[in-house]
Amino acid sequence: MGRDPASSAAHSSILLLLLPPAGPPKIFKILPVTEESPVTPLISAMRFLLCVSVFLGVVGPTQALPFILTHLSTRKSSCKSIPGTMTLCHGVGYTEMRLPNLLGHDTMKEALQQAGSWVPLLSKQCHADTKKFLCSLFAPVCLSELDQAVYPCRSLCEAVRDGCTPVMSAFGFPWPDMFNCTQFPLGNELCVPPAGSEDKQQELKEEVPCSACRNRGDPDKDFLQNYCSSDFALKMNIRSVSTLEGDIMVVPEVKSRTVYKSKGWSDDELKKTLLWLPDGDNCLCQDIHEPGTTVLLLGHRADDRLVISWVRKWQKSEKETKRFSRTVRKMHC
């Protein structure tokens, strides 16, 4: 009996050409399977394997990663909005990515294609930080104030590797060399950390406020009383907040800030300001944890860092803000 052409097309075999880093091309054939087939789960697993295979085959030799990590900082990069079509990084916690990314993808099209190959791994839920780790490479966070790329911490890589290697091994794949955790920083420089340590410290943070964030009464008067003894003073909107070895790094919106005092600041510090709250990841400071929040802030220089010593959320009207700014500028220390 003849078969309907549409039905025949729907059940036709699929040929997939894989180009591994070395050796001749290999062709894999997926046999036709109907919805009623008892081997449908196996085919689902095979599709996951093939997605991973395509990715590993396209990326090229694993020896390329050290070169990428070493020389990326010398390449011209720019901040791009993470497109809605990048399913892998939906809800990752930031909106702009660096391009070229940390895997050497120069175009958004290339980054989207390769990132899509890893979406099936998220559905396996092998580790809570899988999305964070993968996106730190495919769509690395981009801050215009920072010239260098922000890599995933080695501890983040190792945690995801240990959680996901058994899943990938079940499909016949080892943890890829392109994600070799020894390539990433130990944590003694700015990097993307795992989330686990934050959860362990949450109860302590809720009970112990950071010394710079303690409410000592009227914020206006408190600011003015501490103004002269501080090295710098400003009103600003918070652009981003991150952590490094227990310290909190705050990046302000440069265009919207008001600098009342900047004793000893270099031109670079005025253009790309980085503020630090020492040990801030181990105490509570709600006023600086929400990007977009407007704050009054005082601080001093400690070695090569601009350290926050006093900070309060600013919720006054524009008229009150202008009046306050006039008062501050009239002060003579």
pLDDT in tens, 19-36: 333 333 333 333 333 333
Asked whether residue 212 falls in the same domain as residue 187, the answer is no
Residues 6+ apart with CB under 8 A from 47: 120
Name the band, by pLDDT with cuts 50, 70 and 90, for residue 75: low
Name the band, by pLDDT with cuts 50, 70 and 90, for residue 60: very low
Name the band, by pLDDT with cuts 50, 70 and 90, for residue 10: very low
pLDDT exceeding 90 applies to what percent of the chain?
A: 29
pLDDT in tens, 241-267: 888 878 888 988 888 888 999 888 888
Any domain includes 6? no
Q: How far apart are CA 276 and CA 188, in angstroms?
A: 15
Range with the largest mean pLDDT of 37-41, 282-286, 293-297, 312-316? 293-297
pLDDT at 18 over 90: no
pLDDT at 209 over 60: yes
Q: Last residue of a domain, which of 164, 192, 220?
A: 192
Higher pLDDT pick, 212 / 27: 212
- In this predicted structure, which of 33-37, 130-134, 160-164, 177-181 has the lowest mean pLDDT? 33-37
Any domain includes 5? no
Asked whether residue 99 falls in the same domain as residue 225, the answer is no
Any domain includes 181? yes
Quick one: which of 318, 309, 286 has its CA closest to 225? 309
pLDDT at 56 over 80: no
Q: How far apart are CA 29 and CA 39, in angstroms?
A: 15
Asked whether residue 160 falls in the same domain as residue 288, the answer is no
pLDDT in tens, 98-122: 999 999 999 999 999 999 989 999 8
pLDDT in tens, 213-252: 887 678 888 899 889 999 999 999 998 888 887 888 898 8
Asked whether residue 230 falls in the same domain as residue 154, the answer is no
Q: 169: domain CATH number? A: 1.10.2000.10
Asked whether residue 137 falls in the same domain as residue 236, the answer is no
Q: Last residue of a domain, which of 167, 192, 217?
A: 192
Any domain includes 140? yes
Asked whether residue 24 falls in the same domain as residue 122, the answer is yes
The count of domains in the chain is 2
Mean of the per-residue pLDDT values of the chain? 75
Query: pLDDT value at position 30?
Result: 33
Q: Last residue of a domain, which of 192, 217, 241?
A: 192
Q: What is the mean pLDDT of residues 90-96?
A: 85
Q: How far apart are CA 282 and CA 195, in angstroms?
A: 14
Q: What is the mean pLDDT of residues 55-68?
A: 41
Q: The whole model's pTM is what?
A: 0.44
pLDDT at 39 over 50: no
Q: 307: domain CATH number? A: 2.40.50.120
Domain containing 90: what range?
12-192
